[in-house]
Structure formats: structure tokens, C-alpha cells
């Protein structure tokens, strides 16, 4: 039995943040009913057609869910949604700012009718303040949270290559739902909470904030290098390939100098004797390190680093990532059914001995509409009659 079996989640969701949260609930055994709009469903279905004609975003975010298409402004469909909410444990939504209030689907209104319901609202900027009605997308939140000011090169900022603001919000929504379910077990009452993308990514950018706010100097944009630790980043070996190295302390710095670079005197050089001085002189240090590695191939550098316990990596392409030997050795890939045939997906990161995530099929838009309508029809009829 999976931990969330018996829990029903109704998700009025689209794009990335909310679907990412509810997909993880589905992986844990929750029944997730995804409410999509008529005439195309979640617009993330159309982001691309890379996965057998399906959107890579949608395939990533929506396994294990049931899909129903509704016009929630139409009385009959709204009555059906109300019937679903009456039997739900959790309601998650990330509609445009102000939409749920206009529809009477805000958490306060719903919990007045259903005191045991847990409501989660995901927005760009939160439900108060001058930005509350401002539309928000991942890149824009990366800008507002200051992430682009520390990501990229000195010449130009760069966005993160994944939907990091959406993912951050989705993770906090997911953990918030789990916390609320645990709280309900003790109190018997549901609760409502909200997650703002700006708050979520702001938490993740707190370290550079502390560095800049209290250190007086903002972190530099250093590409693939670390702005406040050195040596930390890519270094070119003699064969032209790069090895990424990550040091954490002065002991490792001394080991690197003596046992990998063959230059033990560098660890005592005043320019490099402590991390702060190495950061200040990073460009000069990089030349010295690469000069010391010029007689070795990248493979030899990696082997030598592994022998002395220095963290390192080689940059992989996404196709190389898909064939990573560590995934293969640990049997981390599974097949997930989709309307276009099976696709290979990674197991969720949390591993529990003797238990495996559900990883159910990815639904077509409205695939479960008939079955869900039949299941909730009687209650929906009663709700319509009560309203009249």
C-alpha cells in the first residue's frame, strides 16, 4: 500500500508548478483528478511535440492522473466540480491571479463548505501586495528573484536551463500538502495555504542575498564556476576535455596541490592560502591548474581525483545523462504508458525499501471524463437542485 492511497486530490491546474506538485502526490498513491479546460486541455500539452508527438513538459508532469475536461463557468459542469470537491481531501490550483476568487473557489470559501478540505493556491507573487495581480512565468520570476543577476557570464546573464521557479513552487506545494495532511490527522480539520513562486525561488536565492547584503559585494556571474569558492568549476586537461572540480575545505586544497597537480607549494602561496584569496585570484589560479594538468588526459585527471577523494565530474549531454551508468546499475528507469505508447521515466528520488512509486499512465485530455461524470453525477444533480 502506498502512503497516500485513499487520498483524493482535485487539481485545477496548468503549466508546470501545480502539475509538478500533484504528480508527486500521484506517485505516492493519491488519486489525482486533473480538471482541464474544454478545447485542448492544459496548455502545457502544446508546448512541444518532442515525445512521440506529445509535449515533453506534459509527459514529465502528469503521469498517474485522471483527466476530465470541464467548462467550470457552465452550471452543470460547475455542479460536477462542486460534487468532486465535496469528496476531495485536497484541492490544488494555479489559475491566473484573481480567478478563483471570482469563481468562488478560493480556499476560504471552500473550507467554509468543507472543513476537512486542504486547499493549496499557487501564484506568482502571492495574494497581497502591489504585484498580486501581475502575471508570472518562470523566466520572469527568475528575473524578479535576482537569479539572473548571479547566473551567466560577466558579459551576459542567463536563465537556468530548467523551470527552476516553477519547480521550487511545486516542491513547496507538495511538501505543504503533506504537512497539511499530517496536521489534519491530528486535528481533524483541513487548512489552506498558498505558495508564491517569488517566495519559493527567493528561498533558493537566499545565499547570494546574504553574501551581497552583508558582504557588501554582489556575487559575480561566473558561468560554470563558483562565485565564492575556488577552485570550483571546469578545468581543461591536456587532451582538451574539461573536468569539473569541487573543493570544500583547506585540507582538500592541500591534497589537490600535492597529489594531483604535483605542486604542493601552491597551497602555501599567499595568493591561494585561503578560499577568499583564491576567489580573488581565481583567474591566475586557473591558469596554473590547467598548466599542471596539461600532461594528463581528462580521464587520467578524473582517476587521480577519485583516488585522493576530490569531488569531480564530467559534463554530460542530456543523451549521455539518459545512459548514465549509475542509473543503469541502480535500476532507476521504468516504462510509463502514454496515449502514444510507453516512454522511459526515472523513478522519483525518494527510495523506500520494499516500495515503489505508482508511476501511472499519462492521460489524454478528457480521457476519464465519462467515468468521472458518471461517478459524481448524482451528487452534482443534488447540488444543482440545491442552488435552484
Q: Which three cell numbers stand for residue 276?
A: 577568499
Could you tell me which residues come within 8 angstroms of residue 388 by beta carbon, excluding any fewer than 6 positions away? none
Closest CA relative to residue 314, chosen from 367, 248, 235: 235
* Cβ pair 57, 34 in contact under 8 A: no
What SS3 class is residue 250? Answer: helix
User: What torsion do the CA atoms of 103, 109, 113, 114 make, to the nearest 10 degrees?
Assistant: 100
* Cell numbers placing 4: 497516500
To the query of whether residue 226 is one of the catalytic residues in this protein, the response is yes
What is the rounded CA–CA span in Å between residue 65 and residue 19?
10
Q: Of the residues 133, 226, 324, 368, which is catalytic?
A: 226
Give the other-Cβ count within 10 Å of 65's Cβ.
26
Gyration radius of the chain's alpha carbons = 25
Q: Which three cell numbers stand for residue 324?
A: 548514465
Number of C-beta neighbours around residue 330 at 10 A: 11
d(CA 77, CA 147): 41
Could you give the residue numbers annotated as active site?
Answer: 226
Amino acid at each position: 500500500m502506498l502512503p497516500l492511497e485513499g487520498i483524493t486530490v482535485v487539481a485545477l491546474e496548468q503549466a508546470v508548478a501545480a502539475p509538478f506538485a500533484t504528480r508527486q502526490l500521484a506517485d505516492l498513491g493519491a488519486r489525482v483528478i486533473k480538471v482541464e479546460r474544454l478545447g485542448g486541455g492544459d496548455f502545457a500539452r502544446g508546448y512541444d511535440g518532442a515525445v512521440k508527438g506529445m509535449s515533453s513538459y506534459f509527459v514529465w508532469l502528469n503521469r498517474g492522473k485522471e483527466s476530465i475536461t470541464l467548462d467550470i463557468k457552465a452550471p452543470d459542469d460547475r455542479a460536477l466540480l462542486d460534487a468532486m470537491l465535496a469528496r476531495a481531501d485536497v484541492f490544488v490550483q494555479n489559475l491566473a491571479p484573481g480567478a478563483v476568487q471570482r469563481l468562488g473557489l478560493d480556499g476560504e470559501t471552500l473550507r467554509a463548505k468543507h472543513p476537512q478540505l486542504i486547499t493549496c493556491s499557487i501564484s506568482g507573487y502571492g495574494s497581497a501586495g502591489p504585484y498580486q495581480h501581475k502575471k508570472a512565468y518562470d523566466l520572469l520570476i527568475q528575473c524578479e528573484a535576482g537569479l539572473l543577476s548571479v547566473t551567466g557570464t560577466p558579459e551576459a546573464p542567463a536563465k537556468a536551463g530548467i523551470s527552476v521557479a516553477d519547480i521550487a513552487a511545486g516542491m513547496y506545494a507538495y511538501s505543504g500538502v503533506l504537512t497539511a495532511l499530517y496536521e489534519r490527522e491530528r486535528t481533524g480539520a483541513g487548512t489552506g495555504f498558498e505558495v508564491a513562486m517569488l517566495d519559493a525561488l527567493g528561498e533558493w536565492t537566499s545565499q547570494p542575498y546574504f553574501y551581497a547584503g552583508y558582504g557588501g559585494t554582489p556575487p559575480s556571474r561566473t558561468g560554470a564556476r563558483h562565485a565564492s569558492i575556488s577552485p570550483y568549476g571546469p578545468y581543461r586537461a591536456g587532451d582538451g576535455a574539461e573536468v569539473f572540480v569541487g573543493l570544500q575545505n583547506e585540507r582538500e586544497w592541500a591534497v589537490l596541490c600535492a597529489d594531483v597537480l604535483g605542486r604542493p607549494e601552491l597551497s602555501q602561496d599567499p595568493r591561494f592560502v585561503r578560499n577568499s584569496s583564491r576567489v580573488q585570484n581565481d583567474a591566475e589560479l586557473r591558469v596554473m591548474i590547467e598548466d599542471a594538468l596539461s600532461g594528463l588526459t581528462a580521464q587520467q585527471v578524473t582517476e587521480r581525483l577519485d583516488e585522493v577523494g576530490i569531488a569531480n565530474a564530467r559534463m554530460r549531454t542530456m543523451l549521455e545523462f539518459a545512459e548514465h551508468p549509475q542509473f543503469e546499475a541502480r535500476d532507476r528507469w521504468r516504462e510509463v504508458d502514454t496515449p502514444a505508447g510507453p516512454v522511459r521515466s526515472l523513478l522519483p528520488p525518494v527510495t523506500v525499501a520494499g516500495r515503489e512509486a505508482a508511476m501511472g499512465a499519462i492521460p489524454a485530455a478528457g480521457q476519464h471524463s465519462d467515468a468521472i461524470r458518471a461517478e459524481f453525477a448524482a451528487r452534482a444533480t443534488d447540488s444543482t437542485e440545491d442552488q435552484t
